[in-house]
Structure 1
Amino acid sequence: MCNSIMFIVITLLFLAISTGVHAGDMTLFAGVCDGRNGDNLPSRDQTVALYQKMNIGWIRLYEPFPDLLESLEGTNLLVAIGPKNEQIKTLAEHYEFAVSWIKTYIVPYNVAFNWITVGNEVLQGEIGRYVPQAMKNMKAALTQIGISRTIHVTTVLATTALANSYPPSAGIFKPEITELVTEIASVLSSTDSQLMVNVYPYFAYASDPSHISLEYATFGSTSPVVTDGNYQYTNMFDAMVDSFNAALEKLSYGGVKVYVAETGWPTRGNPPYTSVENARAYNQGLLKKLTTGTMGTPRRPNVPVVTFFFEMFNEDLKQGEVEKSFGFFTPDMTPVYDMWNVISVSS
């Protein structure tokens, strides 16, 4: 029974709320990432069929796979997609390459694209300086082709982009990337788009368990653990998101929304911090948050945090057992653990 309905509660991720992101007559706010770093993963058709079977409404792709895009056609799955990181410099320096990319990977497909993510955690590397212009060129290409209103262009930051994140109100970007982030925030503000970030309480907890409790990291606390001025935090996810909100405020771009491009908890590789029990507690706790009246954060209580869970399948070609073990499913599509008993579904 658990195997057959393991992910049934993920359907609740796609209840109607006011975020302004639509698929058909539903308004959605979360999804699941689909990493492809494996040599034993299901076919593209099987992958899309599993998303549909589990009623998962959003999918994040890390690069455009034409056969997967073909499998997504006509499904109404909302899609976040991005170019390969190594293409960002060319996208920034050659506008026509951006136009060609859009014409190659967006225009031909009957797919509900919602975001183009220009770069995944690249801002602190050599590629980072090209991200703002690449975003501008992508947005201009979408406008030229006539589809800019339906697709947001953004980038994805790691939590290491912050020089400080505790308490959340002290959130501030590292000096060496502040100018870049300011330019990116300006682009996002002018196009009504969102900044995406990867948020992993697991890594913070596993690196400092003497100061961070498992309950705080996995939504197990029932009373505030961190008090930050007028804001109280019962979980680390909210605190990490609000540190980005505070950092954007310091750049005078507090109006830019922060969405989560990745979050999850591994089941293996670093015991006792990694386990099925801890992964289930974290993902179920976040799911409960995202499907109740606390969809925002203490600093932004009325702004639901659109979130992509990481990830659909375990990826055996990643480095280290931890990185291989974030999946909800094994490559043969067997559930790693159940999520079915989080919230009862009323008809």
Structure 2
Amino acid sequence: MLGNDLPPPTEVINMYKLNQIGLMRIYEPNHEALKALRGSGINVLVGVRNDELQQLASTESAAEDWVAAYIRPYWPQVNFRYIAVGNEVIPGEVARYVLPAMQNLHNAWSSGVLNSIEQIKVSTAVAMSVLGESYPPSAATFSQDTAAYMVPIARYLNSIGAPLLVNVYPYFTYVENPSDVSLPYALFASESAVVIDDGLSYYNLFDAMVDAVYASLEKAGAPQVRVVVSETGWPSGGNGNVTTPSTAQKYNSNLIRHVLSSHGTPRRLGKSVET
């Protein structure tokens, strides 16, 4: 959605179909994109703009208006899968609005005529920075700055059967700790276990990061909440030999192979990581 000379939404949808990509994230409910998605069969994660959180948190009627404007006209022709109530706003000035906005949006379609949309799950997308400790994975917890928001959110997600959306970037962990993190470990290319934690063997950093979130959710009293990876990737330029097109391709192709397998993470074996 951001950039010059972008192809029209219909062309993007056709590209998805041609490459058999079944999941899409859009960061705000763009009407042209939603029109193009009708009948596509693509599962959509749609975002609520960060500047709308306060209003949506204030009243259920504001949430009902949002659903009426952006969900009702397109469902069920558009396969809405998740609604992300804000992107990486915890901690921050609007963090306190996330949970009430989630509750209002959930209530807006889980009653009345929209009762049948209950398969659409409401959540929020967070950065890995919501964790205080993250290594080893079993020691991970939500940080002091975020726990006041994340613990109630995690328990709410647990109660409604929704996942936590997490933006997971091994790249950042690698570039911030190059002496402690090997490039093969970050690129899913390590042939032996790099980290042994509580009897679990980690061959890649991605799994360790996802399991750190699982450990934090368990400590927050939300053991049933799944982690859905709402963003990941590797830059193809800007940081010397670490960010080349071939390195980015290696990360992305290895990632896809990994998450499409049924291997899961050491902490959640046999459960593929929706990404």
- TM-score computed with the length of structure 2 as normaliser: 0.96
Q: 1:298 aligns with which of 266, 270, 275?
A: 266
How many pairs are equivalent? 271
- 2:68 is matched with which residue? 103
Q: Map 1:126-205 to 2 at 5 A.
A: 126-144=93-111, 145-205=114-174
How far did residue 234 of structure 1 move?
A: 0.4
- 2:17 is matched with which residue? 52
- 2:188 is matched with which residue? 219
How far did residue 303 of structure 1 move?
A: 2.5
1:60–1:81 CA contact under 8 A, matched in 2 = yes
2:261–2:272 CA contact under 8 A, matched in 1 = no
State the identity %. Answer: 41
Aligned counterparts of 1:293 and 1:61: Cα–Cα separation in 2: 26
How far did residue 218 of structure 1 move?
A: 0.1
Aligned counterparts of 1:271 and 1:212: Cα–Cα separation in 2: 17
Q: 1:277 aligns with which of 224, 246, 253?
A: 246
How far did residue 38 of structure 1 move?
A: 0.9
> 133-142 or 37-46: which moved more?
37-46
- 1:16 is matched with which residue? none
Aligned counterparts of 1:192 and 1:303: Cα–Cα separation in 2: 16
Q: What CA deviation, in whole Å up to 9, does each residue of 1:248-273 have, x standing for no partner?
A: 11112121111100011110111121
- 2:87 is matched with which residue? 120
3-state SS of the aligned residue for 1:176? Answer: coil
1:139–1:148 CA contact under 8 A, matched in 2 = no
Supply the AA of the counterpart residue of 2:52: Q
1:194–1:257 CA contact under 8 A, matched in 2 = yes
- 1:61 is matched with which residue? 26
How far did residue 51 of structure 1 move?
A: 0.9
How far did residue 148 of structure 1 move?
A: 3.7
Supply the AA of the counterpart residue of 2:205: M
Supply the AA of the counterpart residue of 2:194: V
Aligned counterparts of 1:202 and 1:260: Cα–Cα separation in 2: 15
How far did residue 176 of structure 1 move?
A: 2.2
> 170-179 or 125-134: which moved more?
170-179
Q: What CA deviation, in whole Å up to 9, does each residue of 1:24-75 have, x standing for no partner?
A: xxxxxxxxxxxx1212211111111111111111111000110111011111
Q: Map 1:241-252 to 2 at 5 A.
A: 241-252=210-221
Aligned counterparts of 2:98 and 2:116: Cα–Cα separation in 1: 21
Aligned counterparts of 2:135 and 2:25: Cα–Cα separation in 1: 29
How far did residue 87 of structure 1 move?
A: 0.1
How far did residue 183 of structure 1 move?
A: 1.1
- TM-score computed with the length of structure 1 as normaliser: 0.76
Aligned counterparts of 1:177 and 1:212: Cα–Cα separation in 2: 26
Gaps of 5+ in 1: 1-35, 308-347
Q: Map 1:2-81 to 2 at 5 A.
A: 36-81=1-46
How far did residue 306 of structure 1 move?
A: 0.5
- 1:93 is matched with which residue? 58
- 1:234 is matched with which residue? 203
Aligned counterparts of 1:233 and 1:112: Cα–Cα separation in 2: 35
3-state SS of the aligned residue for 1:185? Answer: helix
3-state SS of the aligned residue for 1:146? Answer: helix
Supply the AA of the counterpart residue of 1:114: R
Aligned counterparts of 1:181 and 1:303: Cα–Cα separation in 2: 24
Aligned counterparts of 2:211 and 2:124: Cα–Cα separation in 1: 18
